[in-house]
Amino acid sequence: MKSKSALVALVSSVALCGAAIAGPGEDLIEANKCGKCHTATTTKKAPSFASLAEKYKGDAAKSVKLVEMLKFGTEDHKAITASDADLKAMVAAVLASK
Ligand code: HEC
């Protein structure tokens, strides 16, 4: 099937880029200006992504809650306007931070 092989080619080229430079999650974090308040490793207005990764290490269920937290916002966090897939990619990147 033509469309399927095109999709496979697209997915693998995205995966290759991801290995060479920052992954899609990091790009989305940049594009969504999370860096206004967060940095990778230092506490700015908000906890560093590395400290969040440490805090939620091994808590797989938390990533689902964090996607919802970003989507709907909380008293302490503004809601982020992005697709579910983008939010998931950002949370995955945050939780993979070191
Ligand atoms: C206006 C400032 C601001 C921006 C912009 C911002 N954050 Fe936050 N974020 C905070 C603050 C403050 C906290 C700590 C309070 C809290 O947990 O809600 C936080 C906490 C978090 C947490 C941990 C929540 C928890 O329950 O422990 C995650 C994950 C997070 N932010 C992700 C993001 C992502 C991804 C973006 C970009 C799409 C983003 N933030 C943009 C201020 C911000």
pLDDT of residue 60: 87
94 Cβ neighbours under 8 A, 6+ residues apart: 25, 29, 49, 52, 53, 66
Domain count, the chain: 1
Residue 51 domain-assigned (yes or no): yes
Residue 47 domain-assigned (yes or no): yes
What are the pLDDT digits (tens) for 19-78? 445 689 999 999 999 999 999 999 989 999 999 999 999 998 999 999 999 999 999 999
Q: What is the Å distance from ligand 1's center to 61 Cα?
A: 18
> Which atom, in ligand 1's list, is nearest to the CA of 56?
27
Q: What share of the chain is helix, strand, coil (3-state, %, to 5)?
A: 65, 0, 35
Is residue 53 lining ligand 1, measured as CB closer than 6 Å? no
> How far separated are the first and last CA of the chain, in Å rounded?
41
Residue 1 domain-assigned (yes or no): no
Residue 13 domain-assigned (yes or no): no
Residue 72 domain-assigned (yes or no): yes
Q: What is the Å distance from ligand 1's center to 14 Cα?
A: 27
Q: How far, in Å, CA of 87 to CA of 89, rounded? A: 5
Instruction: Tell me the CATH number at 59.
Output: 1.10.760.10
- Residue whose CA is closest, atom 3 of ligand 1? 37
* pTM score above 0.75: yes
Mutate to test the pocket of ligand 1, among 29, 38, 76 (most ligand atoms within 8 A of CB): 38
Torsion of CA 23, 28, 34, 36, to 10 degrees: 100
What is the domain extent for residue 73? 22-95
